[in-house]
Amino acid sequence: MIEHIPVLLVVLPVLGAAIPLIVSLYSDRGGWSIAAVTMLAHATLAGLLVPEVWTGGVVSYAVGGFALPYGIELVVDGLSLAVVTLISIISLGVLVYARHAGPHENTFYSQFLLLVTGLTGMTVTGDVFNLYVFLEITGLAAYGLVASGRRVSAAVAALKYLIIGTVGASLYLLGVGYALATTGTLNMADMSTKLAAVGYDSTLVLTAFGLMVGGLTVKVALFPLHTWQPDAYANAPDSVSAFISALVSTVSAYALARLLFSVFTVDFLTAVPAARWALLVLASVSIVAGSALAVSQSNVQRMLAYSSVSQFGLVIAGFTIATPIAVLGATVHLIGHAVMKGGLFAASGIIERKTGATTVSGYAGMAGRTPFVAGAFALLALAMVGVPPAIGFVGKWYIVLGAVEAGLWPVVVVLLASTLLTLAYFARLVERLYFAEPTIHDEPAVADGGAEADESPASSDHRSDGGGAVSTGMIAVVVAAAVLAVVLTGAVPLLDQLLDQTLPPLLQ
């Protein structure tokens, strides 16, 4: 049983995704319970793997018993286990949030579990083509989820996301074609030895690298390729934007790291400095441009989306620097960002339901109306800026240390500037929340109804999936995210230990 866990992690949510549809024949509710049971089982399976990976280092599984490297291999090491655990926990958090916030349809929970399948598959696979398939499963589920927003503009945003996302995934597939032509294998470990044998300066290898990494940066949403993201996040239902902002880009960034370290290896980055610099420049531009765009937004959710563009620049920079400390920092920030950004989106959803405020100016004085959520929002925002002892500080600190160690001074400057830039857009918002007088002009219905006016116009036209009201569970999720953003700092040594067995072989 225990040796089958890697494949069960993927199979379980697929099967779970089919059940709500069958249940739909008899009842249009019940999807939530099925998703909750499935995700609890998923979390348990991930938990069972922890001692295995802690002692054994790597768990490998040959799907269907086909001999490796011909069959599909699933690999769980410290890095992928950390991401799988993150997927489990965030999904459970989103389920608690969606219990009241909706959408309540069974189809929503099918898509939700399909998305979990795709994300988990991307994380545990050890096969580059298999990664493409899971990338597309993730994509398809995410497009559907974004389109489930009530407004029709959600469909436009989803179609935009679909077209750009498909081009990204197709470029990745084309890159797999080049890699297959070069090495004749699809298994990541096998491919990395064969790529080394072919020689890193071969045109085929370079083309494969460019296409595969380029394709994934579309999914991560680095700067010039991010255009799908703000529309998708701002138009999706609250539960969905919290879920995909926390996980979809995160797992794509993980896949990029997996590709860098397990397929092309650090030797490739050393042998081809142009590739490393291209990624570093892309990441640095993303950090600066993402922040600049975030500052110029008036809609809070769009601002949070642009903030992701900037934060993923940081993560990719950390992975590209590729020293152990920088990779640890990037992993910490990858996980920390997921918790913080998911929490921020959930909080912005609650604030919108309670007060109808969606814009930066509309947030003025809202702290008095929603003290817990506003407090959590402020805490998460400060954690994202990198105020110690929050998790956001640790990740950035290690990435900067790595850059200093590697002597990449221009990158150090950008990384330090990124903290100031993050402060620029979050400080503005926190200041509004606490120190500004409530404005009346952009939410007329609130003036007479006060806190009881849950059905303000802004929330009733498209966000009324849960009737506009806010449940204790939703607030608890946001507060838990805020607490986690601070407490996770204490877990960094554990993560360090978990990665201690994984990273050295990858980074030598």
Tokens of 462: 């498209």
Give dist(CA 407, CA 445) in Å, integer: 56
Tokens of 184: 């004749």
198 binds other proteins (CB under 8 A): no
Q: Which stretch binds other proteins (CB under 8 A): 38-46, 128-136, 341-349, 468-476?
A: 128-136
Count of other CB atoms within 10 angstroms of residue 193? 13
143 binds other proteins (CB under 8 A): yes
156 binds other proteins (CB under 8 A): yes
Residues sharing a CB contact under 8 Å with residue 226, sequence separation 6 or more, in sequence order = 286, 290, 306, 309
Residue count (the chain): 508
Considering only residues 8, 43, 155, 281, which one is a binding residue for other proteins as defined by CB under 8 A? 155
Using DSSP, state whether 359 is helix, strand or coil: strand
144 binds other proteins (CB under 8 A): yes
Considering only residues 7, 8, 174, 401, which one is a binding residue for other proteins as defined by CB under 8 A? 174
In SS3 terms, 86-99 reads as HHHHHHHHHHHHHH
Given the complex with other proteins, which of 49 and 234 has the nearer CB atom? 234
Decide: 320 and 279 in contact? Cβ < 8 Å. yes
Q: Which stretch binds other proteins (CB under 8 A): 18-26, 145-153, 353-361, 404-412?
A: 145-153
Considering only residues 21, 40, 48, 153, which one is a binding residue for other proteins as defined by CB under 8 A? 153
Bridge partners of 73?
62
User: What minimum distance in Å lies between the beta carbon of 41 and other proteins?
Assistant: 26
Considering only residues 24, 60, 170, 299, which one is a binding residue for other proteins as defined by CB under 8 A? 170
| Among 109, 81, 376, 429, residue whose Cα is nearest residue 237 | 109
442 binds other proteins (CB under 8 A): no
Give dist(CA 315, CA 333) in Å, integer: 6
Q: Which stretch binds other proteins (CB under 8 A): 77-85, 137-145, 429-437, 459-467?
A: 137-145
Q: Which stretch binds other proteins (CB under 8 A): 86-94, 126-134, 243-251, 412-420?
A: 126-134
Q: Which stretch binds other proteins (CB under 8 A): 166-174, 281-289, 336-344, 401-409?
A: 166-174
Give dist(CA 220, CA 208) in Å, integer: 18
| Among 248, 232, 388, 221, residue whose Cα is nearest residue 308 | 221
Q: Which stretch binds other proteins (CB under 8 A): 93-101, 148-156, 215-223, 298-306?
A: 148-156
Q: Which stretch binds other proteins (CB under 8 A): 32-40, 178-186, 338-346, 489-497?
A: 178-186
The DSSP call for residue 264 is: I
Taking each helix axis from N to C end, the angle separating 273-295 and 300-321, rounded to the nearest 10 degrees, works out to: 160
Considering only residues 162, 188, 218, 366, which one is a binding residue for other proteins as defined by CB under 8 A? 162
136 binds other proteins (CB under 8 A): yes
361 binds other proteins (CB under 8 A): no
Give dist(CA 143, CA 159) in Å, integer: 7
DSSP string, 451-489: GG-TT-HHHHHH-GGGTT---HHHHHHHHHHHHHHHHHH
Provide the phi-psi class of 88: left if phi over 0, else alpha when psi is between -120 and 50, else beta: alpha
Considering only residues 61, 97, 112, 132, which one is a binding residue for other proteins as defined by CB under 8 A? 132
Tokens 């929050």 map to which residue? 390
Given the complex with other proteins, which of 224 and 505 has the nearer CB atom? 224
Given the complex with other proteins, which of 130 and 311 has the nearer CB atom? 130
Helices (H) and strands (E) in the chain, counts: 21, 2
181 binds other proteins (CB under 8 A): yes
Given the complex with other proteins, which of 14 and 140 has the nearer CB atom? 140
Residues sharing a CB contact under 8 Å with residue 433, sequence separation 6 or more, in sequence order = 363, 364, 365, 366, 367, 374, 377, 378
Given the complex with other proteins, which of 33 and 207 has the nearer CB atom? 207
166 binds other proteins (CB under 8 A): yes
Tokens 């946001």 map to which residue? 478
Tokens 């402020």 map to which residue? 378
Given the complex with other proteins, which of 152 and 447 has the nearer CB atom? 152
Give dist(CA 484, CA 486) in Å, integer: 5
Considering only residues 2, 18, 152, 198, which one is a binding residue for other proteins as defined by CB under 8 A? 152
163 binds other proteins (CB under 8 A): yes
- Give how many residues touch other proteins by CB under 8 A: 26
Given the complex with other proteins, which of 170 and 460 has the nearer CB atom? 170
167 binds other proteins (CB under 8 A): yes
User: What minimum distance in Å lies between the beta carbon of 132 and other proteins?
Assistant: 8
129 binds other proteins (CB under 8 A): yes
Q: Which residues bind other proteins (CB under 8 A)?
A: 129, 132-133, 136, 139-140, 143-144, 147, 152-153, 155-156, 158-159, 162-163, 166-167, 170, 173-174, 177, 180-181, 186
